[in-house]
Amino acid sequence: MEPKAGGMLTLKAVTDGPEVVPQFENALRDDRHTVEGSGGRRNEKRSGLNYEVTETVLIAPNDLAAPAPAKPGGATSAKPPAAAAKGPPAKPAPAKGGRS
């Protein structure tokens, strides 16, 4: 979880070469997910899929007005919602063109 955000993932992946990394990043990216790559490197100790990449995916919150996520231990920094106003319900407006 990220403060004032949805969250963050760090992915470590292997591919057969750097040319597929942009496709991989674009497949993860959308209006709620930002993808940041830290580059890649070839690992000659691996056979086949020997190109290693690390990607960070930032996840936007579902609701930008939502309170911050709870802290470990149950404490929260968000204030409780205000109580609903009490009193008699509002009267509906009279219909136009009708008799009252």
Looking at residue 47, what is its pLDDT? Answer: 87
Which backbone phi and psi does 18 adopt, to 5 degrees? Answer: -70, -20
Put simply, whether the predicted model's pTM sits higher than 0.75 gets the answer no
Looking at residue 27, what is its pLDDT? Answer: 95
Looking at residue 6, what is its pLDDT? Answer: 85
Looking at residue 67, what is its pLDDT? Answer: 52
The rounded average pLDDT for each run of 10 residues, N- to C-terminus, in the chain (100 residues) is: 79 93 94 92 92 94 60 44 46 52
